[in-house]
Amino acid sequence: MEDRLLALARDGDQNAIMEIYDRYFSPIYQFIRLRTDDSTLAEDIASEVFVKLVSALRGRNAPRHSLRGWLFQVARNELSRQYGKHKCYPTVTLDEWIPAASENQPETQFIQSLRIESARAALRTLTSEQQEVLILRFGQALSLEETADVMGKSVSAIKSLQLRAVNALRRVLNGDSVNE
Amino acid sequence: MSEITLENALNHCIDQLASGSSVEDCLRLYPQFAVELRPMLEAGLLARRAQYNALEVSAAQNRVRSHVVGAMMGQQANTSSGAWLRLVATFVVIVVAVLGLVSASVDSLPGDPLYSVKRLTENAQLLLGDAAVLREQFAQRRIDEINTLLAQGREAEVEFEGDVEAINGELWRVAGLSVRVPSATPDIADVQVGDKVHVRANTTSTRELVASRVTLVEDRIAPLLPSLTPTATVTPTLTPTPTRTLVPDVDSDGLPDSADLCPTVPGAVINDGCPLPTATYPQVPTTDDDDDHEDDHDNSGRGSRDDDHDDREDNSGPDGGGDDDD
């Protein structure tokens, strides 16, 4: 389905391009939005991603397969361009992370009771790659291979990374001071 | 199953969650890791729960849509304007190239590589300017080119147009140029002095101009004949003799001396080369209010002139009238 849509878009079918937009705007925006605390900036970056797609389709250098992965890759590059080489993404320090599981409350129950804002803040205490892998794998349901492509890593590296990421998040949620 | 690690179990469970399975479903697959996997999966799922609400996403999607559509349309416009620019640039390059060629071709002579460009340019000019004036200019240009070729002793195929000024055997004078017209040249029998002809010829290294074809463009005598038909005596002289233009014509009245009954006095062909008696001309109305003669308008005009100059020179009147007809 995705390949058929992409083939149509490559042939200049504007309806196909808009269908791609409608299908992928939300996941792309969410990915960007969770990496920044500025909704306007997130909107601008998302816009840039799809304008780049239109441009790539015209220039015949659009992907032939893995459109979703290509879009996330462009979004990631745009984020990186926005925040620079030092990846100064908005973060939340452990000191700022107030909610913590109390000793008499089961961890799972505590996680489930977290407010959305707290969940976002907890995520932002992680490293950039840890955040990305969790957003892509859990949040956007990308496959291991797609995630590896987007992040430019091997499949095994992503496997290890996602394990480290969930453990790091657990430690944050439990109020541990060590990130990994 | 002995190779299953927590890392692999976690990875598989993430895939299961992505395909719609619940945490409990995953834990049933890996009971040996259930205690550890549960909080890991619940923590990971925070990345899903942390997503922004649909209202914000939808609003952003609507706003960005116009940018994407604009980009699509803009690129079309850019492509269109780009195509136009390329067309204009191509046109400019062609114009510059043609102008360069045209400029370089101005002094070219028949046989030169750029001569065809020169002639092509002239044809284009004829379409854009005063054709009559230009034709005259270009005709003179052909003569000048031939004179240059002859002066340089260059061999080339040429063509030109002009009046036949003299015919002396194979030696003709056309438009001021001496041309040798071999007797075997086709279709020259009807040509006589005073006719306008188109000549194809070759310049030789011995600085001679030799015709290969002579085509009658205008017969200076034939158009006059109908105006003379009122008299019954005209008819027998209408048919020109094929050979008369190829022999000397001392009085230049268009009739060769051998057939001219008055070889030293210019006369009319229809009168065997002798001056026509004035009585043979049609009756000329003497007053403007004679409406009965309206049909004789052409003849009356010519007759009026003749009346004004009632001497032997009037015999050249038909020639002059012929020029008028031209």
pLDDT in tens, B102-132: 777 778 888 887 887 788 788 777 777 777 8
Interface with chain A: mutation pick from B26, B57, B69, B76, highest number of A CBs within 10 Å: B57
Q: What is the pLDDT of residue B309?
A: 41
A34 contacts B57? CB cut-off 8 A: no
Q: What is the pLDDT of residue A12?
A: 86
What backbone phi and psi angles, to 5 degrees, belong to B200? -100, 135
| CA-CA-CA-CA dihedral for B270, B275, B278, B281, to nearest 10 | 20
Q: What is the pLDDT of residue B227?
A: 40
Q: What is the pLDDT of residue B251?
A: 75
Q: End-to-end alpha-carbon separation of chain B, Å?
A: 113
A134 contacts B75? CB cut-off 8 A: no
B11 interface with A at CB cutoff 8 Å: yes
**Whether pTM exceeds 0.95:** no
Q: How far does CA B309 lie from the centroid of its chain?
A: 46
B326 interface with A at CB cutoff 8 Å: no
What distance in Å separates the CA atoms of residue B82 and residue B135, rounded to the nearest whole number? 42
Q: Within B20-114, where are the H helices?
A: 23-29, 34-44, 46-49, 54-105
Helices (H) and strands (E) in chain A, counts: 9, 0
Distance from CA of B93 to the nearest CA of A (A): 27
What confidence tens digit (pLDDT) does each residue in A124-176 have?
999 999 999 999 999 999 999 999 999 999 999 999 999 999 999 999 888 76
Which chain B positions have a beta carbon within 8 Å of A176's beta carbon? none
Distance from CA of B94 to the nearest CA of A (A): 28
Average pLDDT on B77-82 reads 50
What confidence tens digit (pLDDT) does each residue in A114-127 have?
788 888 888 999 99
Q: Which residue of A has its CA nearest to B20?
A: A141
Which of A5-19, A101-115, B97-111, B189-203 has the weakest average pLDDT?
A: A101-115
- Residue B235 pLDDT more than 50? no
The secondary structure of residue B108, as a DSSP letter, is -
Compare CB distances from A119 to B18, B50, B56 and report the shortest one's residue. Answer: B50
- Residue B293 pLDDT more than 50? no
Compare CB distances from B68 to A21, A122, A167 and report the shortest one's residue. Answer: A21
Name residues whose C-beta falls within 8 Å of residue A176's C-beta, 6 or more positions apart in sequence: none
Compare CB distances from A141 to B18, B46, B57 and report the shortest one's residue. Answer: B18
Decide: A79 and A87 in contact? Cβ < 8 Å.
Answer: no
- Residue B325 pLDDT more than 50? no
Compare CB distances from A160 to B7, B44, B60 and report the shortest one's residue. Answer: B7
What distance in Å separates the CA atoms of residue B198 and residue B144, rounded to the nearest whole number? 16
Name residues whose C-beta falls within 8 Å of residue B205's C-beta, 6 or more positions apart in sequence: B153, B154, B155
